Chains A and B, each alone.
Chain A
């Protein structure tokens, strides 16, 4: 029996609250516009399309307020840091910020669709009523506002026929123009945020996403013209629709039914979004200020197979294990920021990142740092770098567990470089105070290229552990998941040698994929009644596998072994 609640409970709870709020707002505002006396005549004109447009509008207010919050990285980091007293569970929840951002975005898209479709009906019917193409009652209602001292109900004042009438309203009314513009922005943002575009052309995604600025400005002024009309309170006192509804031809002529007066709803959206907009503005200012702080490259190391290491120093830079930073190199590109995991430990006096050369920007950085040249580069020739961060990820929590399983796939092993180094420093300094007692490390690689710089680190740790007679502290397994026959032959022949042929480590490399069920069961049996943290940096499929294994191998009671799954993501 697994402990599914342990791993997923808080997320599901948050999502249910959020969905509940959406449903509540939708139903509440639907009934507000469908049942109130204020909107009785508006409803006569527009039917069901009025409440059906206002209800998603309320939900849009709510969701547009929420969408900026998960991407305020610095704010979240601050919350994470200050919740050091709180359990790791709360902090894990804050890691899922990007998932929440995407969910809210899809909800915005859905409500925009409903809102737009309802308003299309509204416009069509309003223009029809105004151009005498409708039932007499609606035509009479639309005539209100023509005479002086009258306020209008139907926002279409010109008597153009459809379809030109509808188009005219859309381009002459503020709500129409802003509506079209911000919907276009939303569509462009969504099409450039699909997984394919994000993974392959990050810069396009990032630049297009900034259309949200236009989106929010347009959203704030969208309702400023106040064209959703309701009867004014003073008019409601004098003109009761129960009596006067049927006597429309006598309005203004008989005493009990004066001409009803209408006014528009004041815009509400800005009240919802001004707070998050301010927070986000602060976030960008913080990022900008941090990036202006001077960063010095102290060392550049080229590793085999298109990897470079940059060691840098920045005044007042404090990091924890497994965090990541955003890096900008104005010499390569003035606007682009790219995320990289820190591979140094907090105990070191510099911070470093390992960069694989895969695209334009990384190649530009490679050349700017003079890596393509053979001779020694002077320090002043190295380019200026801006750094924002560090930002927290799940790896910070590694030290709060007694036993951890670290799983890195391919290049995903980088956060664990930081952790292992930090573990080594802590162990050297004061082993007894360290809560972490045992590390199970799994590195899955497709080919041997990736081994090089990381293997050096593992070798160092291996010798250190042996010297301190604690070879059991770190148990690591390297799995070569892609191998061909010639390699297999080579391994088979050298099977007996003391050191592994690929890595030079005493621990042998294993082939194929690990049998996770076995691994989890063995670890569970060796550490009963413990909370074991499982940390993964790798592909989705592996995350699913490990997540399921965590759930199924955890015992349901509060005592007993529990596997807690943490996934890195960018």
Chain B
């Protein structure tokens, strides 16, 4: 398992923990359990964690599959700087966020999951991983149109051979142009009509 980037799994686990915290928090708050305000905290913490973890970081090797619509959140998460980039900080943050939810049975599952996510992030940080935002790809340079670089027609006439050569070539030209307008064209390279 040498190539694994632990942060990928930590990210999935943290996202799941966020959702579990929200669910447990809703149960405690809506059910008006004793000390239900821990449930409210759990909802808020869960939403924050989901928003933080939603944008996937860029993998070191290979391409990363983005989550649907993550580019808007990537901009926000990027602004947080080292808080989002450094996985040591994320590990500590998640551990800290998980503690208050541990006081209620309804949210303790969220605590456990988040603590596990925190330890996987710690492992990721040991391996030197960090969160890099996935930047939108710059559009590939448009290939210039064939005629696009021609801005103005040439102002000078093309260089011409001396007078005698010109006369001979003009005779040929006349014959050739007569041929073009009249009969079939002689092609320099044989062309085969093929349906591919």
Pairwise interchain contact A360-B1, C-beta atoms closer than 8 A:
yes
List CB contacts (< 8 Å) of A123-172 with chain B: 123-124, 128, 133, 161-163, 166-167, 169-170
A119 to B, closest residue via Cβ: B105
Q: How far is the CB of A155 from chain B (nearest CB, A)?
A: 14
Point out the residue from A113, A163, A194, A203 that lies within 8 Å of B12, measured CB to CB: A194
Q: How far is the CB of A201 from chain B (nearest CB, A)?
A: 4
B116 to A, closest residue via Cβ: A188
Contacts of A327 in B (CB 8 A): none
Q: How far is the CB of B191 from chain A (nearest CB, A)?
A: 10
Q: A120 within 8 Å of B by Cβ?
A: yes
List CB contacts (< 8 Å) of B136-162 with chain A: none
Task: Digitize A479-515: 1 where CB-to-B-CB distance is under 8 Å, 0 elsewhere.
Answer: 0000000000000000010000000000010100000
Q: How far is the CB of A504 from chain B (nearest CB, A)?
A: 19
Q: A433 within 8 Å of B by Cβ?
A: no
Q: How far is the CB of B9 from chain A (nearest CB, A)?
A: 6
Pairwise interchain contact A123-B105, C-beta atoms closer than 8 A:
yes
Q: A121 within 8 Å of B by Cβ?
A: yes
A121 to B, closest residue via Cβ: B31
Pairwise interchain contact A166-B104, C-beta atoms closer than 8 A:
yes
Pairwise interchain contact B103-A163, C-beta atoms closer than 8 A:
yes
- Chain A CB count within 10 A is highest, among B31, B65, B105, for B105
Point out the residue from B1, B5, B23 that lies within 8 Å of A117, measured CB to CB: B23
Task: Digitize A160-199: 1 where CB-to-B-CB distance is under 8 Å, 0 elsewhere.
Answer: 0111001101100000000010011001101110111100
Pairwise interchain contact A162-B108, C-beta atoms closer than 8 A:
no
B20 to A, closest residue via Cβ: A187
Contacts of A163 in B (CB 8 A): 33-35, 38, 103-105
Contacts of A360 in B (CB 8 A): 1-3
Q: B80 within 8 Å of A by Cβ?
A: no
Q: How far is the CB of B186 from chain A (nearest CB, A)?
A: 19
Q: A203-B1, A360-B1 are in contact. Are A167 and B105 (CB under 8 A)?
A: yes
Point out the residue from A162, A196, A204 that lies within 8 Å of B34, measured CB to CB: A162
Q: How far is the CB of A176 from chain B (nearest CB, A)?
A: 9
Task: Digitize B20-51: 1 where CB-to-A-CB distance is under 8 Å, 0 elsewhere.
Answer: 10011001100101110010000000000000
Q: A188-B13, A204-B9 are in contact. Are A180 and B109 (CB under 8 A)?
A: yes
B67 to A, closest residue via Cβ: A196
Contacts of A359 in B (CB 8 A): 3
Q: How far is the CA of A128 from the CA of B103 in the complex (A)?
A: 16
Interface residues on B, range: 35 or more
Q: How far is the CA of A194 from the CA of B9 in the complex (A)?
A: 9
Q: A117-B27, A360-B1 are in contact. Are A183 and B12 (CB under 8 A)?
A: no
Contacts of A291 in B (CB 8 A): none
Pairwise interchain contact A200-B8, C-beta atoms closer than 8 A:
yes
- Not counting A192-B9, A194-B12, a sample of 16 additional A-B residue pairs whose C-beta atoms are within 8 angstroms of each other reads A113-B23, A120-B106, A121-B31, A123-B105, A163-B34, A166-B104, A183-B109, A187-B13, A191-B9, A191-B16, A197-B12, A200-B5, A200-B62, A201-B1, A359-B3, A508-B196
Contacts A/B (CB < 8 Å), 30 sampled = A113-B23, A116-B109, A117-B23, A120-B27, A120-B105, A124-B106, A128-B34, A162-B34, A162-B35, A163-B34, A163-B35, A163-B103, A163-B105, A166-B104, A166-B106, A167-B105, A167-B108, A184-B109, A184-B112, A184-B116, A187-B16, A187-B113, A188-B13, A191-B9, A191-B12, A191-B15, A195-B65, A200-B59, A203-B1, A204-B4
Residues on B close to A: CB < 8 A?
A: 1-5, 8-9, 12-13, 15-16, 20, 23-24, 27-28, 31, 33-35, 38, 56, 59, 62, 65, 103-106, 108-109, 112-113, 116, 192, 196
- A-B CB proximity, top 10 nearest: A162-B34, A166-B105, A191-B12, A201-B4, A191-B13, A203-B1, A120-B106, A360-B2, A124-B33, A163-B35
